[in-house]
Amino acid sequence: MPSYQAPLRDMRFCLYDVFGGDELATLPGWEDFTRDLIDPVLDEAAKLCEEVLHPLNRSGDEEGCAWKEGEVTTPKGFKEAYTLFKDGGWTSIACDPAYGGQGMPAAVNILVEEMICSSNLSFGMYPGLSHGAYVSLAAHGSDELKAAYMPKLVDGTWSGTMCLTEPHCGTDLGLLRTAAIPQEDGSYAITGTKIFISAGEHDLTENILHLVLAKIPGGPKGVKGISLFLVPKFLPDAAGNPGERNAVACGSIEHKMGIKASATCVMNFDGAKGWLIGEPHKGLRAMFAMMNTERLAVGVQGLGIGEASRQNAVIYAKERIQMRSLSGVKAPDKAADPIIVHPDVRRMLLTQKAYMEGCRALAVWVAKALDVSKKHPDPEVRKENDDFVSLMTPIVKALMTDLGSEVANIGVQVFGGHGYIREHGQEQYVRDARIAQIYEGTNGVQSLDLVGRKMPEGAGRLLRRFFHPVSEYVAAKVEDETMGEFVQPLAKAFVRLQQATGQIARTALGRPDEAGAASVDYLRLFGLTALAYLWCLEVEVAKAKIDAGEGDIFYEGKIATARFFMERLLPDTGARFSAIMAGGKSMMTFPDEAF
Ligand SMILES: Cc1cc2nc3c(=O)[nH]c(=O)nc-3n(C[C@H](O)[C@H](O)[C@H](O)COP(=O)(O)OP(=O)(O)OC[C@H]3O[C@@H](n4cnc5c(N)ncnc54)[C@H](O)[C@@H]3O)c2cc1C
Q: Report pLDDT digits (tens) over 321-377.
A: 999 999 999 999 999 999 999 999 999 999 999 999 999 999 999 999 999 999 999
Tell me how far the alpha carbon of residue 425 lies from the centroid of ligand 1, in angstroms: 27
Cα 293 from Cα 389, distance rounded (Å)? 10
What tens digit of pLDDT does each residue of 83-127 get?
A: 999 999 999 999 999 999 999 999 999 999 999 999 999 999 999
Q: Which helix (H) or strand (E) holds 309?
A: helix 283-319
Best probe residue, ligand 1, of 126, 165, 291 (max atoms within 8 Å of C-beta): 165
263 touches 205 (CB < 8 A) = no
Confidence at residue 287, expressed as pLDDT on a 0 to 100 scale: 83
Coil/strand/helix, residue 56: helix
Confidence at residue 137, expressed as pLDDT on a 0 to 100 scale: 95
Cα 426 from Cα 497, distance rounded (Å)? 35
* Minimum CA distance residue for ligand 1 atom 48: 442
Q: Where do the DSSP E strands lie in 172-241?
A: 179-182, 188-198, 207-215, 226-232, 234-236
Report which ligand 1 atom has the smallest distance to the Cα of 442: 47
378: number of Cβ within 10 Å: 9
Nearest to 112 by CA among 130, 98, 91: 91
Give per-10-residue mean pLDDT for the chain (595 aa): 96 98 96 97 98 98 98 98 98 96 96 98 97 94 96 98 96 96 98 98 98 96 95 97 98 98 98 97 84 90 98 98 97 98 98 98 97 97 96 98 98 98 97 98 97 93 97 95 96 98 89 95 98 98 98 98 98 98 96 97
Cα 365 from Cα 487, distance rounded (Å)? 19
Tell me how far the alpha carbon of residue 185 lies from the centroid of ligand 1, in angstroms: 35
Confidence at residue 293, expressed as pLDDT on a 0 to 100 scale: 80
Cα 253 from Cα 68, distance rounded (Å)? 10
Residue 179 pairs with which residues in a beta bridge?
A: 191, 215
Cα 531 from Cα 540, distance rounded (Å)? 14
Confidence at residue 411, expressed as pLDDT on a 0 to 100 scale: 98
Question: Does residue 171's CB lie within 6 angstroms of at least one atom of ligand 1?
Answer: yes
Q: Name the pTM for this structure.
A: 0.98
Question: Does residue 211's CB lie within 6 angstroms of at least one atom of ligand 1?
Answer: no
Which positions are catalytic? 440
Best probe residue, ligand 1, of 121, 163, 171 (max atoms within 8 Å of C-beta): 171
Confidence at residue 494, expressed as pLDDT on a 0 to 100 scale: 98
Question: Does residue 121's CB lie within 6 angstroms of at least one atom of ligand 1?
Answer: no
